[in-house]
Amino acid sequence: MTETSEIQASDEQAPSLRPEEASSQETAAAIIGALAVAGTQLLFGVPGGGANLDIVGAAADAGMEFLLTHDETAAAIMAATYADLTGAPGAMVATRGPGLTSAATGIAHALLDRLPLVAIVDTVPVGDRDRIGHQRLDQVALGRSIAKATVTVGARHRSVAAMHAVALATAPPMGPVVVNCDPGADELPNAAVEPIPETGDLGLLREALSAARRPVVMLGLGALSHASAVRESLVGSGLPVLQTYRVRGIIPDSSAEAAGLLTGGTMESPLLRRADLVVGLGVDPVELIPARWDYAARSLLVSETPTEAESYFAPGIELIAHLPRALALLREHAGRYNWPPEAGRAAKQATVELLRQAPPAIAGKLTPQDVVATVRSATSRDAIATVDAGAHMLVAMPLWEVDEPHLLLISSGLATMGFALPAAIAAALCHPETPVVAFTGDGGLGMTLMEIETAVRRRLRVIVIVFNDTTLSLIKIKQRADRQGGDWAVSYGPSDFAGAALAMGAAGERVVDVSGLAAAVREALGREGPTVIDVPIDPTDYPAILDLTRGDSGRLASRH
């Protein structure tokens, strides 16, 4: 029996069910069946009754585990992280109306980080829309604004529609698809997902590489699907390689070629100003901050799917071609360049040294640099770190070294707060034997606090490090005096996150020095279940860190 016929065979239902019940269960079984064929083994979400519960039941029948979360966006982030770490589509379930709107941020995260996610929601049945206004939204339009597409799966064409939804999510560029589950619908989607043809002339790249003496390679999220080939081609080449947040580790930080982060900010500017050619592999401007690209070197961007790279890297040229072809050209021209030995490592180390030169923290608090360095020293090289949006990420991302991809996770395209804890939960589910650390601010943890209970319920060894300065520090730096509000616009009252963790059954501890933090991390590594370590932070150095990483490079000399 073929995979398609196996899914269609699930259309059979017990005759004792009422017709509408049978239709709902048939539809749910088709959706879960299509996901199972694609390799999905985990379903996340907050069910709302009716068709939602049929999805959960169909998952149980198929041997697919369901994890109940406290929030729909957390469920979507968990599912997207599951997809990132396993390669299978992520899946989450939510109720219609408020369930979908609550999940919107997590779905949008999957869209801008190019992660395959199937968000399954019920909807007001097509036959009842003229008389029911309760919880009725235009979910098709909403889905189109935060996802690649919206697909309605009804009982009649359930198998075709369900498989089409999964195929859309996994087709390049990957992304989320919202599935409206309506057994009464009679829609037949387009079944074909067309491949993207190669249209780029790599002869331009060959000529540019022949003439270049100091090329720099940039890696973006499109390189993840070719991580092994990229590493094989570039490690040992002597070419400096910049990597965006999402691809850190394709080129190991321990290698001579690893030149640090590509953000669109200033920390990579000294290297790029020395380059006479910039070659992008899978670089998607969605990951980069909206700053001017004002480097003199020519930019050639090789992508497998069209992006907006030509506009961002103006006057760059985007070539649509398979990355292995570009890698072959890089190998062909290896050894012809005159970069100093270990130019990449030297560029990265210069930034790291500047970041580490923080003034001492005030008594009873730690610097962000101390926190990251201490936790990194206390954990194994294979530990997975998830990083929330906020000022602390400007320290965590360059200082947390990794030698493999998917060991440092962040919401890059959407840059949403509330990412770190749900992502850490998903990482712990995918890799239960691997230490998982979530770096989050007090603001981000406040958005997802109850998911600590989710980690407790599953006894997940997740270590949550809270950079607690009772402030939206990154936003505070961006305030222009009192014209955009004073401290009252960006400051919270004190919160006892360790106490909150204890109340939910997790371990919790507040630490005020480096030795206490190191001891707390070591204890957490030997403990079953989650640990929340609340760290009072001295934010004094954050403005200088922002200047170093994103600001005017002309001000860097004034930092020390």
Contacts of 192 (CB under 8 A, 6+ apart): none
Choice between 63 and 49, residue whose per-residue pLDDT is larger? 63
Same structural domain, 120 and 212: no
Same structural domain, 428 and 513: yes
Omega within 30 of 0 (cis) for the link into 368: no
Residue that finishes a domain, picked among 295, 324, 347: 347
Tell me, yes or no, if the pTM score tops 0.75: yes
488 pLDDT above the threshold of 90: no
- Write out pLDDT tens, residues 333-348: 888 888 998 999 999 9
451 pLDDT above the threshold of 60: yes
4 pLDDT above the threshold of 60: no
Q: How far is CA 250 from the centre of its chain?
A: 16
Q: How many domains does the chain have?
A: 3
- Write out pLDDT tens, residues 276-330: 999 999 999 999 998 889 899 999 999 999 998 888 998 889 999 999 999 999 9
Q: Compute the average pLDDT of residues 155-177.
A: 92
Phi, psi of 98 (to 5 degrees): -65, -25
Same structural domain, 300 and 153: no
User: Which three-class secondary structure state does DSSP give residue 259?
Assistant: strand
- Write out pLDDT tens, residues 491-502: 777 889 999 999
Same structural domain, 376 and 233: no
Q: For the chain, state the CA radius of gyration.
A: 24
Q: Look at residue 352 and tell me if it is in a domain.
A: no
Same structural domain, 238 and 214: yes
The predicted pLDDT at position 481 comes to 53
The predicted pLDDT at position 21 comes to 58
Same structural domain, 405 and 545: yes
* Distance (Å, whole) CA 245 – CA 466: 21
The predicted pLDDT at position 43 comes to 98
Residue that finishes a domain, picked among 150, 181, 212: 181
Q: Look at residue 190 and tell me if it is in a domain.
A: no
Same structural domain, 412 and 343: no
Q: Look at residue 54 and tell me if it is in a domain.
A: yes
* Residues 323/314, Cβ–Cβ less than 8 Å: no
* Residues 449/420, Cβ–Cβ less than 8 Å: no
Same structural domain, 335 and 375: no
The predicted pLDDT at position 11 comes to 42
* Distance (Å, whole) CA 264 – CA 218: 11
Domain CATH number, residue 95? 3.40.50.970
User: Which three-class secondary structure state does DSSP give residue 149?
Assistant: strand
The predicted pLDDT at position 15 comes to 45
Going by their DSSP bridges, the two strands 90-94 and 149-153 should be labelled as: unpaired
Q: Look at residue 159 and tell me if it is in a domain.
A: yes
* Residues 467/439, Cβ–Cβ less than 8 Å: yes
354 pLDDT above the threshold of 80: yes
Q: Which class for 560: exposed (0-12), middle (13-18), buried (19 or more C-beta within 10 A)? A: exposed
223 pLDDT above the threshold of 70: yes
* Residues 150/120, Cβ–Cβ less than 8 Å: no
Domain range for 421: 357-558
Choice between 65 and 360, residue whose per-residue pLDDT is larger? 65
* Distance (Å, whole) CA 167 – CA 174: 9
Token pair in block for residue 462? 């997740």
Residue that finishes a domain, picked among 122, 147, 181: 181
Same structural domain, 155 and 249: no
- Write out pLDDT tens, residues 409-437: 999 999 999 999 999 999 999 999 999 99
Same structural domain, 478 and 400: yes
9 pLDDT above the threshold of 60: no
Q: Compute the average pLDDT of residues 213-227.
A: 97
Listed residue (359, 400, 371) closest to 545, CA to CA? 359
Same structural domain, 128 and 41: yes
Same structural domain, 221 and 320: yes
Q: Look at residue 196 and tell me if it is in a domain.
A: no
Listed residue (187, 195, 103) closest to 151, CA to CA? 187
Percentage above 90 pLDDT, the chain: 69
Domain CATH number, residue 212? 3.40.50.1220
Percentage above 70 pLDDT, the chain: 90
Where does the pLDDT of residue 560 fall: very low under 50, low under 70, confident under 90, or very high at 90 and above? very low
Where does the pLDDT of residue 135 fall: very low under 50, low under 70, confident under 90, or very high at 90 and above? low
12 pLDDT above the threshold of 70: no
Q: Look at residue 191 and tell me if it is in a domain.
A: no
Q: Which class for 433: exposed (0-12), middle (13-18), buried (19 or more C-beta within 10 A)? A: exposed
* Distance (Å, whole) CA 127 – CA 112: 34
Where does the pLDDT of residue 13 fall: very low under 50, low under 70, confident under 90, or very high at 90 and above? very low
Q: Look at residue 256 and tell me if it is in a domain.
A: yes
Choice between 201 and 92, residue whose per-residue pLDDT is larger? 92
Where does the pLDDT of residue 6 fall: very low under 50, low under 70, confident under 90, or very high at 90 and above? very low
Length of the chain: 560
Q: Look at residue 32 and tell me if it is in a domain.
A: yes
Residue 366 is given by DSSP the state: B
What does the H/E/C string look like for 235-280? CCCCCCEEECHHHCCCCCCCCCCEEEECCCCCCCHHHHHHCCEEEE
Average pLDDT, the chain: 89
